[in-house]
Amino acid sequence: MNKNSPALALILLMAALAAVSVICPAQSQVPPGGGWESWTFGNWGPYRETMRFEREEAVAKHNYCPTGGCVLRVERVDITPFRARKGDTLTLTTTYTLLTPEMVAIPVTFSREIFYQGKSLGKVKDIDARNKNGTFNREITFTLPQNSPVGDYTLVTKVSTGFGEDMKSVRFLVE
C-alpha cells in the first residue's frame, strides 16, 4: 500500500464534495415552493420582426453566391436590460440573415432556452409560416417570474430551417 493513499483519498473526497456543491444549488437558491421541477420560466410576449437589410444588401454584406445553397446566420443576440429584477420584463433581440438560391421564402423555426447554473429552466419554440431573404431583427419580450433566483442566466437562441441552423447565447443577471 502506498503511504500517500490517505492523502489521495482526502483529495478525491474534497473534489467530489466540490462537484456536488456546484451541481446542487444551495437551499437559498431554489425557488420558493419547492424544487426546480415546479418552476417554469417567465411569460413570453408577442414578437415583432423588422427587416434590417433587403436581399441585395444582405447578399453583398455576406458575399453570398447562390451556388453555395441556403445561408442562415444568427449574427447577434441581445437582452435589455442586462441587469433585471424579479418580475421585470426583458427584451430579446435576435439579428439573423436568411439567403436562398431561388429567392423564395422558407419556413424558419426559433427556439429559446434559458439556463441557470447549467440547468435548463425551460425551452420554447416558434415556427413562422415563411420568411423571405434578407437580414432581420426579431424582438420578443419575456417576463421574469417573481420567484426567479438571483444570479447569472444564459439564454440560447437557435434559428433553424430545413437547410441548417445557427445559434448564439447571451447572458443576463437577476438581482
pLDDT in tens, 44-96: 777 788 899 999 999 999 999 998 889 999 999 999 999 999 999 999 999 99
The verdict on residue 78 lying in a domain is yes
The verdict on residue 108 lying in a domain is yes
Which domain, by its residues, includes 63? 33-174
The verdict on residue 117 lying in a domain is yes
The verdict on residue 12 lying in a domain is no
Q: How many domains does the chain have?
A: 1
- For the stretch 141-175, pLDDT in tens is 988 888 889 999 999 999 999 889 999 999 999 99
DSSP code, position 134: E
The verdict on residue 49 lying in a domain is yes
CATH assignment of the domain containing 81: 2.60.40.10
The verdict on residue 4 lying in a domain is no
**In the structure, what pLDDT confidence band is assigned to residue 123 with cuts at 50, 70 and 90?**
confident
**In the structure, what pLDDT confidence band is assigned to residue 133 with cuts at 50, 70 and 90?**
very high
Supply the DSSP string of 70-125, one letter for each residue. -EEEEEEEEEESSEE-TT-EEEEEEEEEEE-TT---EEEEEEEEEEETTEEEEEEE
In angstroms, the CA 141 to CA 11 distance is 47
Task: Give this prediction's pTM.
Answer: 0.72
Grid cell for residue 94: 435576435
- Amino acid identity of residue 162, one-letter, is G
